[in-house]
Amino acid sequence: MQKEKAKERIILGIDPGTVILGYGIVKEVNKKITLLTMGVIKMGHLDDHALKLQRIFKKVSALIEEYHPDCVALESPFYGKNIQVMLKLGRAQGVAMAAALNADIPISEYAPRKIKQSVTGNGNASKEQVAAMLQTLLSFKETPEFLDATDGLAVAVCHAFQQNLSGEKQSYSGWEAFVKDNQKRVR
């Protein structure tokens, strides 16, 4: 009997920002997720918005070249009161997307609330709660200098969870078939 090949993929998660962009990279093997790396791309020292965008493109491209992710997941900018901030965040996200698309890597977007819900079970969780849950899920001790790194990591973990959920969906012809396949779930 032939052993089934392990389902393996690398996911790059990105929390776009124009001062600090957070990222996390996980490896998923047969639905088990392990942390490869996480960090931030700092741009606070750059005054020119175009230079910030260039830095995002170059740094995300370098991460892609080093880790060869199978997919990239990004947090979508949430609607805020300041339209200029939204515009800048959208550009940062767009440039990160362009880096992935330039390398022919598929991209996915998730709303901040969806990411928090997926990782902690609470769509209103704080950045600190998200970071603490990720430390538990992925068994790492060090607390990153910036919570933007764990925010990027949360996007990658959210994507892994969503893909796992969608992969398990199954249709049934009726209750009898459902009960037969789900003995442990039925009392």
Q: Which of 28, 65, 75, 168 is catalytic?
A: 75
Would you place residue 169 in the very low, low, confident or very high pLDDT band (cuts 50, 70, 90)? very low
In this predicted structure, the answer to whether residue 5 has a pLDDT above a threshold of 80 is no
User: Is residue 181 among the annotated active site residues?
Assistant: no
- The answer to whether 66 is a known ligand-binding residue is no
- The answer to whether 181 is a known ligand-binding residue is no
* Topology at the third CATH level for domain 8-185: Nucleotidyltransferase; domain 5 (3.30.420)
Percent of the chain scored above 90 by pLDDT? 68
In this predicted structure, the answer to whether residue 170 has a pLDDT above a threshold of 90 is no
Q: Which of 66, 148, 176, 181 is catalytic?
A: 148
CB burial of residue 181 (10 Å; 0-12, 13-18, 19+):
exposed
User: Is residue 48 among the annotated active site residues?
Assistant: no
Q: Which of 8, 15, 28, 145 is catalytic?
A: 15
User: Beta-carbon neighbour count of residue 89 at 10 Å?
Assistant: 19
- The answer to whether 75 is a known ligand-binding residue is yes
What is the rounded end-to-end Cα distance, in angstroms, of the chain?
35
